[in-house]
Amino acid sequence: MNVAMFIVGFCIFSLYISFLFWNIIYQNKKQREDGNGTKDYYKREYTKPKAKKTKSGSQSRKKNYHWHNESKLNGQ
């Protein structure tokens, strides 16, 4: 009984692995045939000039290091 269970389990596992590899290969071929827009993916366009920055300096908010004293300064 135990040996039969291992044989059946091995057959199911081997079928699963074979269909898994078949599916991976089939989807890879199908994706290559479709082209999926990845042709020339790594080519860069050097014809356009770089856009210049519109602002200079830091883009972050002004730091308020004394936020805890703000209510005291306003008289609240």
Q: Indicate if the pLDDT at residue 76 is higher than 60.
A: no
Percent of the chain with pLDDT strictly greater than 70:
53
Supply 70's token pair. Answer: 């703000």
User: Mean of the per-residue pLDDT values for the chain?
Assistant: 77
CA angle 51, 56, 57 (to 5 degrees): 135
Q: Look at residues 44, 42, 26, 43 and name the one whose alpha carbon lies nearest to residue 34.
A: 26
* pLDDT tens per residue across span 17-43: 999 999 999 998 888 887 766 666 666
